Amino acid sequence: MILPDFSLLENQSVLNRMKEPARAWYIPYGCRCSALSGAKIISGSAAGAACAQVIAERNGRYKSLNGDWDFIYCRNKREAAEALEALETNRQAGIPCDKIKVPSNWQMYGYDVPQYVNSFYPIPLDPPHVPDENPAGIYRREFRLPERWSGEEIYLNFEGVDTYFYVYINGEPAGASQGAHLPSEFRITELLHSGKNTITVLVFKWAWSTYLEDQDFYRLSGIFRDVYLLARNKEHIRDFEIRTSLDAVFVRLQATAAAGAASVELYDAEHRQIARKDAIIREGAAEFHFIIENPRLWTAETPYLYTLLIHAYNEVIPACVGMRTVSVGPSGEFLINGSPVKLKGVNRHDTNPDTGHCTPLRGILKELLLMKRHNINCIRTSHYPNTPAFLRMCDELGFYVIDETDLETHGTALGGREYGKDQSLMLTDNPEWRDAFVDRIERMYERDKNCASVVMISLGNEAFYGENHREMSRYVKSRDAGRLVHYERCENAAEDSIDIYSRMYASLDFIEDYCRNSNYKKPLFLCEYSHAMGNGPGDLQDYWNLFYRYPNAAGGCVWEWADHAVRSVEDPSVVPARRAAYGDSMPQYGKNRDCAAARPFFSYGGWFGDVPNDGNFCVDGLVDPDRNPSTGLLELKNVIAPVQVEDAGMENGMPAYRFTNRYDFTDLEELEIRYKIRTPSAVFLQGVLPVKCAPGETVSGTLAFTLPEFSFEEFFTEFSFHTKKDTVWAEAGYELGFAQLKLPVKQTVPETEPTSSMPPLTVTFSGEVQSGVLQAEGEDFVYRFDLDKGHFTSIVFNGIELLAAPTRFSVYRAPTDNDRNIRRAWNGSFLQLAKEKLYSCRVLEVNRKYVTLLASYSAAAPSFLPFVKYSVLWVIYGSGEIGASVTAELRPGAGMLPRFGLELAMPPGNEQLRYCGFGPGPAYCDMRHFCKKGIYDASVTEEFTPYIFPQETGNHYGTEWAAVFDAEGRGLLFKGIQEFEFSALHYTAEDLDTAQFAKDLQPRKETIVRIDYKQSGIGSNSCGPELLPQYRFDDPQFCYSFTIKPIFTENTDLLRESRTLPGITEETS
């Protein structure tokens, strides 16, 4: 056996050994019928979806090598060489040889550990060199060739291997390659035997290519995408290229033979042949040109695909054809088929909590269907090409794809300035690395060039910008002038190497400045914006207001689609799994992740002892690792809904509205628009409103309803937008979005319950009148107020205690991920340690129907002046109602506070919740567009969102009243004189703030209730601009008032009670 040339691991001038040239991805078939059936991946409906492998297994020219392989884990080159030699000389005794699934990542099987780093390199910055202790995996399996393959050319295909790998067939070298997310094909015909054959693959964790793959994700290794064999005729079509215009299809073939005959057939979506042409192959090439009358054009909204069949050399090659064009308009518009399009996108990584970077196709399909159901039309493949089948699904379902080159060198900027010039350019401007840069875009472009969904080619991510990128752009433009080139790190909008001006996390001011400048002729595209980390993002509506306002704002891709995490266990009873290295019987890491007794949780960077790591910065998706939607995804869905409705006032006494069609190619008559006129508690009118409106246009309409002049509830019109027909991704009637608009109905003044009509109140003191404990006793309640602390210590109603701890005012919230920057300021001023200080508390008046107290407080932290000073006028009424009127002033320079409000703990059992406010999900001042104003019932347990990294959750913006009560209906009703913000959880802010994982949290039996004046918004400042001024809680002075009243829900009309407030009358004053 010839041992591998390990010098290739550190030699970027040798890109591969014996690898076939890049070509389009396809699978050849033996007949027209099987080729037609195999052209598409999704067959008819989501339920009937079949992955490419299943289709291809029906094909006699394809053989999958996925499945169980023998595996040996080695810690370095020496061990790898010894193990290889022992395997090939049958000296296998004593070698720990396990089984591993292919495709997979070996870290997910317990060999080595997953490591999450964002921009740091996991190895020293010393290109092209890598550490001597360089882990490796040896994969080995046997296979048999079908007898019918005798005399055929056999090709071995790897769709993704991380990172550098060497291939052996029957002990003979078959090739070597790199480029983790790129295909590698090897011709192995002469190395094969009839009958049984053996394939051995040696994969190293690091190589020179590691310096080009510094993406923000878990660093995982191994054969993580499909491996298969293709049998080809000795003479065959090697590559083909499809170009389209709005009425024509051009096809160019490249063959391995100089001469031959070929034909091309074109079928419509119902498999009816609409064109056929024959040609002679000369000098290894042939060309075909079709003019299509009245073609069905491809868009993300109407993803119509023709099927093209190439017949040559006793093979049939299928391909899907989407007829479309991509261009830039005269004012910088992004155009599909000559029409302006807004890109409503997300960034998508390959990530799975159980299989790592190996993403099963059914899982990918689930993701894409979920995106369609949430109005997403664009995907950036951050930061590498996804599996080829992914793009075929995007062609079929309808997505605009930014196909990104597997190239990132972010870590070169972090190693100092020893390079002699900007260190970030050590690779980007280095001619010794130019071929490696161009190789990556060549392999990606050639693989994906026939996919209609690919509308932009991206030169990579955060690899800075230099001459090597210009050369990459030249390659793309020399091959295809019909696709746009994207690269965010090219900061000069005038550069010819880019066609789109792309930015990350641009501020709203930047967007306005760019879009208003007539000198800029390229579309502005935010390849990353609205960092969706944890609770958030909270600025989506503000971005989309600008995207819709300016024609040259193309849209953007939210960062990012899915949380990256590893499903892990922490249970001392679990025995470590045996994961041995070559020559070592010791386990390599951790717990047996398959143990049913273990309680799983999602872990992030650092859990496995991986150093360096970037903690939970990878937990930043719109869906969790299991693809459950977050509130951020629900917010995005409604912000980018296909219909925008605006209030147009009153027309002939009827409510009038303007409907704007936010589709780019679909009339609104394709949707069913339902409406309701309602209050939070009742529906007065509902129906379906026919709306015909062309893409991008606005029409007006009215609803025949006479509004009352007054109501004690707010009136709203609600519109919802539904599909009329079944699609692959949604059933008929599926709701795509909604709008809720307030109607001009005056609210009646709340009824006043005069103190004169209230039962008598008995007030006693445990000490002096102005100190000790004040006790107020009425017909069915006894309250205790500690005058030395300025707070209630007991609220007893019908003999039931409703307080588990004294009330208090507080200013802190458990920081969200998007608070990560402002948190530094908060921590710097010890805000998390802020305590309430009582300056004074005086009894102002004791009356037979009420008692009033005035207390003055502050909230302050060690070594700092008080953040806020405030006074509260407390009133205890004979009805049992407690009134609080707060007047507060922030210290100048205190900055933005998280929140301010009253906090109280209710005893165990107070689990039920009913409120009138924004719901049913959590709502914040800048993240509430997926919520409606209404009356909602919930449990306190349901109010908690178990973020992987615990943080603030459960708030309800715009609350009018809220009730928390036990199973018998006994509890407290909170009413605002103005709207307030409210939450009820089984956790305090301190509980959430100190936990590192959701598993660390133990819910309290008590219910923690907050009645807040205001809470700062969510924003996206974890990796974006600062929270917008209008969403910051930094009011210099403020006042708010609320009441607290014990209730028994069985005999209390909460709605009526919510509109009744106590009032002191003269005869009792």
Average pLDDT over residues 716-723: 98
Q: Which amino acid is at 1048?
A: F
Structure tokens at 909: 């059992």
For residue 438, the one-letter residue type is V
Q: State whether residue 326 is helix, strand or coil.
A: strand
**How does the average pLDDT of the chain come out, rounded?**
93
Instruction: Read off the pLDDT band of 767 (50, 70, 90).
Output: confident
Based on the fold, state whether residues 914 and 1059 are members of the same structural domain.
yes
940 and 997 in a single domain? The answer is yes
pLDDT value for 130: 97
Give the pLDDT band (50/70/90) at residue 749: confident
pLDDT of 96-110, one tens digit each?
689 999 999 999 999
pLDDT at 123 > cutoff 80: yes
One domain for residues 776 and 817: yes
Average pLDDT over residues 165-184: 98
Whether residue 912 lies inside any domain: the answer is yes
**Enclosing domain of residue 177:** 57-232
Residue 261 C-beta-side C-alpha neighbours within 13 Å: 3
Structure tokens at 335: 């155009």
Residue 1060 lies in a domain: yes
Q: Check whether 575 has a pLDDT greater than 50.
A: no
Cβ–Cβ under 8 Å, residues 1000 and 848: no
Instruction: Answer yes or no: is pLDDT of 581 > 80.
Output: no
Mean pLDDT value of segment 876-884:
97
Mean pLDDT of 24-32: 96
pLDDT bracket for residue 991 (50, 70, 90): very high
464 and 348 housed in the same domain: yes
Say yes or no: 721 and 775 in one domain: no
CA angle 622, 628, 629 (to 5 degrees): 40
| Within a domain: 319 | no
Per-residue pLDDT at 60 exceeds 90: no
Query: Same domain for 720 and 759?
Result: no
Predicted confidence (pLDDT) per residue in 227-247, tens digit: 999 999 999 999 999 999 999
CATH number for position 139: 2.60.120.260
Determine the Cα–Cα distance for residues 1047 and 620; give it in Å rounded to an integer: 41
pLDDT exceeds 80 at position 781:
yes
Q: Give the per-residue pLDDT at 97.
A: 82
Instruction: Flag whether 290 is in a domain.
Output: no
Tell me, yes or no, whether 13 lies in a domain.
Answer: no
Check pLDDT > 70 for residue 592.
Answer: no
Render pLDDT for 500-544 as a digit per residue (tens, 0 to 9).
Answer: 999 999 999 999 999 999 999 999 999 999 999 999 999 999 999
pLDDT of 571 reads 63
Cis previous bond, 146, omega within 30: no
Q: How many CB atoms lie within 10 A of CB 389?
A: 20
Mean pLDDT value across residues 32-54: 68
- Over range 723-741, report the average pLDDT: 98
Q: What is the pLDDT of residue 415?
A: 64
Report the pLDDT value the prediction gives residue 578, as an integer from 0 to 100. Answer: 39
Number of domains within the chain = 4
**Residue 177 falls in which region: left (phi positive, over 0), alpha (psi -120 to 50) or beta:** beta
Domain-terminating residue out of 726, 747, 768? 747
What's the average model confidence in pLDDT over 125-145? 96
Write out pLDDT tens, residues 661-693: 999 999 999 999 999 999 999 999 999 999 999
Whether 1009 is in a domain gets the answer yes
The answer to whether residue 282 is domain-embedded is no
Check whether residue 805 and residue 878 sit in a common domain: yes
Query: What percent of the chain is modeled with pLDDT above 90?
Result: 89
Whether the per-residue pLDDT at 971 is higher than 80: the answer is: yes
Predicted pLDDT of residue 88: 76
Residues 729, 851, single domain; the answer is no
Q: What is the pLDDT of residue 55?
A: 53
Residues 728 and 761 placed together within one structural domain of the fold: no
Residue 978 located in a structural domain: yes
Q: How far apart are CA 730 and CA 372, in angstroms?
A: 8
What pLDDT sits at residue 330? 96
Together in a domain, 409 and 457 = yes
Burial class (CB in 10 A: 0-12, 13-18, 19+), 454: buried
**C-alpha distances out from residue 716 to 752, 957, 976, Å:** 25, 17, 20
Least confident of 35-44, 745-754, 856-865, 1051-1060: 35-44
pLDDT confidence tier of residue 44, bands split at 50, 70 and 90: very low
Query: Helix axis angle, 508-516 relative to 540-549, nearest 10°?
Result: 0
Q: For 680-734, where are the E strands, in sequence order?
A: 682-688, 698-702, 710-711, 716-723
pLDDT at 46: 44
Which pLDDT band holds residue 810 (cuts at 50, 70, 90)? very high
pLDDT in tens, 1039-1063: 999 999 999 998 889 999 998 899 8
CA 776 to centroid of chain Cα atoms: 53
Per-residue pLDDT at 168: 97
Residue with tokens 């001023």: 829
pLDDT at 588 over 70: no
Q: Which of 49-58, 251-260, 397-406, 788-797 is predicted least confidently?
A: 49-58
Q: What is the CATH number of the domain that holds 729?
A: 2.60.40.10
**Last-in-domain residue among 747, 766, 797:** 747
What distance, in Å, lies between the first and last C-alpha atoms of the chain? Answer: 103
Distance, in Å, from the CA atom of 332 to the CA atom of 327, rounded to the nearest integer, reads 10
CATH number at residue 459: 3.20.20.80
Tokens of 27: 């699978």
Q: Tell me which of 708, 725, 747 is where a domain ends.
A: 747
One domain, residues 668 and 815: no
Q: Tell me: do 848 and 944 sit in the same domain.
A: yes
